Amino acid sequence: MASDDLHWFIALAELERVGATAERLHLTQPTLSRMLARLERRLGVQLFDRHGKRLTLNEFGRVYYEHARRAQGELDSAARELADLAHPAKGVVRLAFQHSLGARVVPELIAGFRRVSGRIGFTLQQDAADAVTAAVLDGSADLGMVSPRPAEAEIGWRPLLRQRLALAVPPDHRLAGRRQVRLSEVADAEFIAMHPGFGMRRVLDELCAAADFRPRIGFECSNLGTIAGLVAVGLGVSILPLEHPLAGGPQPDPALVPLVDPEAMREVGLIWRTGAAPSEAVRRFRDFTFEWAHPQVGPA
């Protein structure tokens, strides 16, 4: 595939409309249609199924799209590496991380790094743990911060910090005054949980399985602060990091009771794609992050 084809083909594959893609790329629709026809003739297969004005990637197109995205990622990496060689003090780090790390952990980490590398910029992306891992794998993020550790073999991992977990209960709950608690003591309670795909949902499911029960989920959401608020007003119980910033607002915060269950700990780590060649800026930030983590979790 010619490098000039990458940008417009990826855009067309994602938008699946010639008109919208042509408008985004500042092309005419006939020009874009001719470019697609020329590419398909060169490949000897059709890449899209036509449904009126809408296009849908077919089996051939999906295979080609995945290769095109990887190729574009490699070309972008090459451009960043050349820029780093020409301007070694500059660069951009594309960092993806879970929502729960955005209030404190990520700002503190970047602030510390910028004090020693002020000319390196950041592009930040917040999402669920599975989405962060996917962004690192497809090259749209250089590094990710997630919990727990992803299972994908292509992902490198370095633990950064460990957060003790607590049972979150309403302030007037029977367990609110306890110094510690076992998760099995609320096996019959209604839980408020993150959506599937989020790191804390996986942590909750694994801890409940270890305690020999399946949680009864009453509410699902995508923000730990929202979970804290729902628990505080008596709509259920949940599991939160012990030091997590709570809901705030006029209502009281939930009570956090430390869990004594084995593995009641959330390990947050840095991830990267092992086959990717990082830019100088990414290498410098990754090395700084390892040093920043050393007092908390020990050497790599």
d(CA 46, CA 117): 48
Task: Tell me which fold the domain 81-160+267-297 belongs to.
Answer: D-Maltodextrin-Binding Protein; domain 2 (3.40.190)
Residues 6 or more apart in contact with residue 131 via CB below 8 angstroms = 96, 197
Arch. (CATH architecture) of 162-265: 3-Layer(aba) Sandwich (3.40)
Q: Higher-confidence residue: 242 or 41?
A: 41
State pLDDT tens for residues 60-82.
999 999 999 888 888 877 776 67
Strand 48-51 versus strand 91-98 pairing type: unpaired
Asked whether residue 251 carries a pLDDT value surpassing 80, the answer given is no
Whether the predicted pLDDT of 249 surpasses 50: no
The string of pLDDT tens digits covering residues 194-245 is 999 888 999 999 999 999 999 999 999 988 888 999 999 999 999 998 875 4
pLDDT in tens, 83-103: 666 665 568 899 999 988 887
Please state, rounded to an integer, the average pLDDT across all residues of the chain: 87
Determine which helix (DSSP H) or strand (DSSP E) holds 242, and give its type and residue range. none
* pLDDT in the model for residue 250: 46
With a cut of 70, say whether residue 1 has pLDDT above it.
Answer: no
Per-domain boundaries in the chain: 3-74, 81-160+267-297, 162-265
pTM strictly above 0.75? no
In this structure, of 49-58, 130-139, 250-259, 265-274, the range with the lowest mean pLDDT score is 250-259
The CATH number of the domain covering residues in 3-74: 1.10.10.10
Residue 88 has a pLDDT of 56
Which one has a higher pLDDT value, 275 or 268?
268
Q: What are 128-180's pLDDT values in tens digits?
A: 889 999 999 999 999 999 988 998 989 999 999 888 999 999 999 999 999 99
Would the CATH topology of 81-160+267-297 be identical to that of 162-265?
yes
The reported pLDDT for the residue numbered 24 is 86
